[in-house]
Structure 1
């Protein structure tokens, strides 16, 4: 009798161990499947980034801007050449360095307040801090929108080939017959066949003089800084001040606004170039925040019952309105007999 009991216990232990091993194998298989899915997604998104960067490189290296004609007496093209107030290096810091720095600080502070700095997530076999992963997600979304802005801007520049306000000063066009725009005979002449002398300027300067529309500084600055302002609206909660967050947002938008204004001030763009460039940046920032990173998608806790609606006890309504025509046993006070029930069914 005791041997039978002992054998039964051993069999139970073996079954439990086997079930445990089977459960571990299933968990491991599920984990491996998730890791493969993450790796597959990362490769696809990396490929998308590469594809989006190809047009930018092709335009910058191998494509010439569309060649447009001009009137020799067009006053909008006779502005003097000035250096950039907001240089390309400054623009790169504002759009490529400042937003990621803000993302890092905000994500770190958020995790610290939630006491989750020690939380880790396994990604592609690596054990990483949870706030690293969240920062990676946000920077991926941000960079995706930035590349889209680059692409839209470059397509416009090289397709339109609009002449900058300082075109005459940089190009110094020489007409096909050897005459100059300063000659009286060419005062109202529309010129299409010309060559740029460009004395005192580089080939790159002459090429840039034909890339006015739309403003790249404006589109990139407005995208990067507006998206960052929207990110702060969603992620940053400053308990000690109600206005501090909005002040930071205002500063970011004003920096983008000043960058756009400086392009007209420096005679690098016409006002319409700046307007369209700014609209491109704002549009891509809103689309990225709303549909790609989904910054304003309400969480489960934020979904509340609409105001003005009150809870009602529907049991009385159910008994009064439904039971009058519903056979038993669905109604507590149903008055149907068995025969009536059968006919109803």
Structure 2
């Protein structure tokens, strides 16, 4: 009987109805938040699809003797596939490795948390949270870049070589009569190039390669600054950050080198990427906020000699035996009482 009583005393208590309702309400809040965030991601993706597949860039005129758009066509040094690997695959690998090592060193690798009825590893949840922040900022940067490209419609440096414009009056830019003429009505012959190539010649400002590269790689550099905090990681962290920034810098420089962008396109694109990374890291991921454990307890509180305070402020009007060094004698004490 005693053993049975001990077993009953050590058995976990069944959750009460109030606890069950509280847990259910918490799960509903999490589900609602995830649904709203997913909806926002979809809303941010829609403008990108519309710009890429349904909108024509602004059609602007040009001077036939404008040397800034007469560069020869050359292939991309950093191709779109390479850009995707730099700004997508590389950050993903870094996020996975850092979060795994962080959970391993803190002893939380085997800990789990319940999310929408599923038991998931804690570091999986943290990894998903970091990827969500990164993807949200990436979409914001992409949207800002696309709005600029299709609104401005600036001509690329190799516009004449790819478009091969033919004026509506039948003349060409090479004819002497059109030497200083501003051309607005023209058609692109584009011999040897596809329709997509001709369309791309009007999407110079700002540089998409520069904005995406600087956003993704600068954000990862800030992420490493926040996460690589264990001992002897100082030089390793800064070396990795330098490599990431140099990859973004080289990507931006290659756009001018390949005559795909003017220098001002690259400058503005880089600024868009840097601004997006800083805003996402500061206000969304909150990388610059100190965790609670880093705040020294009692910081900013003034320490005082309480005994001196008591002697000066209390003892002057309080009879013994509550104060030391009192000048009251026994007769005076009796009168005070």
Query: Measured at CA, do residues 187 and 314 of structure 1 come closer, stay the same or move farther in structure 2, by a change above 3 Å?
Result: farther
Q: Could you state the TM-score of these two structures normalised by the residue count of structure 2?
A: 0.87
Pick from 102, 106, 119 the counterpart of residue 110 of structure 1.
102
Aligned to 1:59: 51
Pick from 133, 138, 141 the counterpart of residue 130 of structure 2.
138
Distance in 1 of aligned mates of 2:118 and 2:66: 62
Pick from 91, 94, 98 the counterpart of residue 99 of structure 1.
91
Aligned to 1:233: 225
Distance in 2 of aligned mates of 1:171 and 1:319: 92
Q: Please say if 1:267 is aligned against 2:256.
A: no
1:316 Cα deviation from its structure 2 partner? 4.2
Number of matched residues? 313
Query: Measured at CA, do residues 305 and 171 of structure 1 come closer, stay the same or move farther in structure 2, by a change above 3 Å?
Result: same
Query: Measured at CA, do residues 175 and 289 of structure 1 come closer, stay the same or move farther in structure 2, by a change above 3 Å?
Result: same
SS of 2:234's partner is coil
Q: Which runs of 5+ in 2 are unaligned?
A: 318-337
1:323 Cα deviation from its structure 2 partner? 9.5
SS of 1:243's partner is helix
Pick from 271, 277, 280 the counterpart of residue 285 of structure 1.
277
Contact 1:238 1:244 in 2 (8 A): no
Aligned to 1:300: 292
SS of 1:121's partner is strand
Q: Which runs of 5+ in 1 are unaligned?
A: 1-12, 326-345
Q: Please say if 1:203 is aligned against 2:195.
A: yes
Aligned to 2:330: none
Distance in 2 of aligned mates of 1:244 and 1:222: 21
Report Cα offsets for 1:216-268 as digits up to 9, x if no partner: 00000000000000000000135335311100000000000000000000000
Aligned to 2:160: 168
Aligned to 2:118: 126
Query: Measured at CA, do residues 119 and 22 of structure 1 come closer, stay the same or move farther in structure 2, by a change above 3 Å?
Result: closer
Report Cα offsets for 1:169-194 as digits up to 9, x if no partner: 00000011010000011001010111
Report Cα offsets for 1:19-64 as digits up to 9, x if no partner: x988522222111111110000000000000111111011111111
SS of 1:239's partner is coil
Aligned to 1:82: 74
Contact 1:198 1:206 in 2 (8 A): yes
RMSD between aligned residues = 2.6
Aligned to 1:47: 39
Q: Which moved more, 1:316-325 or 1:246-255?
A: 316-325
Report Cα offsets for 1:182-213 as digits up to 9, x if no partner: 00110010101111010000000000000000
Distance in 2 of aligned mates of 1:278 and 1:69: 26
Q: Please say if 1:32 is aligned against 2:24.
A: yes
SS of 2:120's partner is strand
Q: Could you state the TM-score of these two structures normalised by the residue count of structure 1?
A: 0.85
